[in-house]
Amino acid sequence: MHNLLLLFAISISQGNLSSERFDSLNMGFVGNWPFGSSYATEIDSARNLAFCGSGGGVYVLFISDPSNPVKLSEIRTRGVVNGLFCEKLTQRLYIAAGEAGLEIWDVANPLDIQKLGSYDTPGNAEDVAVSGNYAYVADYTGGFRVIDISTSSNPYEVGFCDTPGHALGVAVSGSYAYVADYDAGLRVIDISTPEDPSEAGSYDTPGYARGVAVSGSYAYMANGSSGLWVIDISTPTSPSGEGLYDTPGDAYYVAVSGSYAYVADRGEGLRVIDISNPENPSETGSCVTLSNARGVAVSGDYAYVADGDYGLHVINISSPIDPYEAGSYVTSTNTFGVAASGDDYAYVSDRNPGLMVIDISNPGSPFEAGSYDTPGSALGIAVSGTYAYVADLSEGFQVIDISDPLNPSEVGSCGTPGNAYGVTVSGTYAYVADGSGGLRVINISNPEDPSETGSYETPGNAYGVTVSGTYAYVADAYEGLRVINISSPIDPYEVGSYDTCYARGVAVSGDYAYVADNNYGLRVIDISTPESPSKVGSYDTPGSPWGVAVSGNYAYVADGLSGIRMIDISIPTNPSGVGSYDTPGNARGVAVSGEYVYVADDEAGLQIYENLVAGVNEEDKNKEKVLKVTQNLFMGISEVQVYGVDLPVTLNVYDIAGRVREKIIYNSSPVMVGAGLNPGIYFVRIEGFEPVKIEKLR
């Protein structure tokens, strides 16, 4: 019954994605596991729910015990989550999803969240507030947008008002919206006629306005390096500065409760400001968080801080003089590298959580199956057999056993003198691009005791590496491509080089090396004579390439903020762009397996695309799971559904030892399973169905 341990399912609802704006050419979106840095949070205190933005998604957390938030479900957006607004009465969550605009989700059942609708704003949705039948969006370069949400499935814009700067934050009170306009301070917008919003007043603060909250006759502005500003809005047409408190960091967001303002102060955590005297606000307490506080929400005795790379921090504020951390929920942060192994799993190197194992058996809905927190910052990754090899920055080289993808574990490590950025494996050796330490050759014949056997210090900073035959090809920042003879791993030496601008990644196919060359796109280097490599072609991508992978006649370039670029290299001397997809994050790593392209998209997690030029159509390719399990953490039971097979079928429930504990005849309706089972781990399997379909119950 070893197969029972191979799959772990999480039920995720994902709406129709076809309406969102993402520039693309000959590449189709397939699915994503989009979680990354946390910038926003919202609370539904009546139901003990916290919504934590995480890259291109939202974690729904049960917080009845603030010291131990429990994940109930996940929301996947197409853009990075910048702002959240929870409308408690209708139990809907409004998401300012960056490039994807406004998204509306039904969160009435936190275990079965459904997307209701979306509206693609012209700018980059940064924040959202809701009042009545309207959502008000701070849309960065798109200014202030008014969206009619009376029909959630079909929201549409009814009005807008250009702001002079970049709209980052918004709050609504009465007939006015208050916009934090990055380089233009507070803008007061009259929304008494939503179809014709107009600026009624303004107050230009000296810093950079990022967030705003309104309470009574005052607007409270998180104003970047100049801290918290208190602005009198008793006369909205003529707002005036009342007081300020210069926080030690960069004030990004503010929430107000009672006589206190709670400021998410980037670099300095949560600052508690006494605003009982608006003319003279003063700090009463603070709690430094691990990363960069970007968002904050307050409910009762707790402040919930979206802390960038370290997820959600729950701060006890029952004593404003002495706030302290009560609990936390760590999210993913920045995905830098990706490796795909077969059709079941992709392995992602994530700077803070380390190694993430993503189940891709259903590419349209990948999910996290397991993880291992490496001691450093995981940047590069290679997979061979039952091991993942991680370039872990300052902590060097790590060997992770992935024979059980649900429970990866470290079995060995080897320190390196520089910062390990990239890694590749060939035979019994791993080759590490080690920054200032150049190329390091690690013997992995015994994965539990890896040891360095040789090295070559490249003249620049080694960022990427690949191996072909008896040569290692190193992307050496500032010094270009270096060709290293590794026929003797004990004594590697350089035989040739080609000076590009700023080499970050390299792939080799046949007689050519393909270099991801920062601001200069893709360079094609002829390596048929390793001692004398020469450039034969290039393609200038619009972004800043970080990584490159080659499959068949195509090179796939992770092009930074410009997403993924597909380049035809059938004629190496004349490469041409034939496809692209503007990913929601910052494309840093890429891997290709079969028909799918896997992109490590920094704060937007793992994105999966397909090459439409190569004859792959966008029809459903049996991506629908046959067996779906939705776990109910409150009741200790699971809802099981069966799709796409002739009914009835028999479902067997097994314990961890493989013993049958329950038999169920499934006819047509979802069934609840597990009510009579003792605590423990159980699996459900469809009997007589090939290939075997198994999911975990709890």
Q: What angle do CA 480, 577, 563 make, to 5 degrees?
A: 75
- Where in the sequence of the chain do the CATH 2.130.10.10 domains occur? 335-611
pLDDT at 104: 98
Mean pLDDT of the chain: 90
How far is it, in rounded angstroms, from Cα 503 to Cα 547?
9
Query: What's 2's DSSP letter?
Result: G
Backbone angles phi, psi at 5, to 5 degrees: -90, 0
- Where in the sequence of the chain do the CATH 2.60.40 domains occur? 630-696
pLDDT at 15: 33
Q: What is the band of 334 on the pLDDT scale with cuts at 50, 70, 90?
A: confident
Q: What is the band of 315 on the pLDDT scale with cuts at 50, 70, 90?
A: very high
User: What average pLDDT score do residues 207-230 get?
Assistant: 96
pLDDT at 21: 61
Identify whether the C-beta of residue 254 lies closer than 8 Å to the C-beta of residue 264.
yes
pLDDT at 636: 59
Compare 698 and 99 and report the one with higher pLDDT: 99
Give how far the C-alpha of residue 690 lies from the chain's centroid of Cα atoms, to the nearest Å: 34
- 335-611 topology per CATH: Methylamine Dehydrogenase; Chain H (2.130.10)
Classify domain 630-696 by CATH architecture.
Answer: Sandwich (2.60)
Compare 318 and 621 and report the one with higher pLDDT: 318
User: What average pLDDT score do residues 530-552 get?
Assistant: 96
pLDDT at 228: 98
Give the 3-state secondary structure of residue 447: coil
Number of neighbours of residue 617 by Cβ within 10 angstroms: 9
Q: What is the band of 3 on the pLDDT scale with cuts at 50, 70, 90?
A: very low
CA distances from 670 to 573, 611, 638, 693 (A): 57, 36, 10, 17
Which residue is listed with tokens 């609840």?
672
**pLDDT tens digits, 135-149:** 999 999 999 999 999
Of 377, 379, 381, 357, the C-alpha closest to 369 is: 357
Give the 3-state secondary structure of residue 390: strand
**pLDDT tens digits, 16-30:** 333 356 778 889 999
**pLDDT tens digits, 675-689:** 777 766 677 888 766
- Residue type, position 510, single letter: G
pLDDT at 18: 35
Checking if the pLDDT of 657 tops 70, the result is no
How far is it, in rounded angstroms, from Cα 493 to Cα 214?
65
Instruction: Give every CB contact of residue 356 below 8 A, 6+ residues apart in sequence.
Output: 332, 335, 347, 348, 349, 350, 368, 370, 371, 606
Q: What is the band of 1 on the pLDDT scale with cuts at 50, 70, 90?
A: very low
pLDDT at 608: 96
How far is it, in rounded angstroms, from Cα 596 to Cα 302?
44
pLDDT above 90 covers a percentage of the chain that reads 78
CA distances from 520 to 24, 109, 458, 538, 641 (A): 21, 49, 21, 9, 50
How far is it, in rounded angstroms, from Cα 253 to Cα 295?
5
Identify whether the C-beta of residue 480 lies closer than 8 Å to the C-beta of residue 488.
no
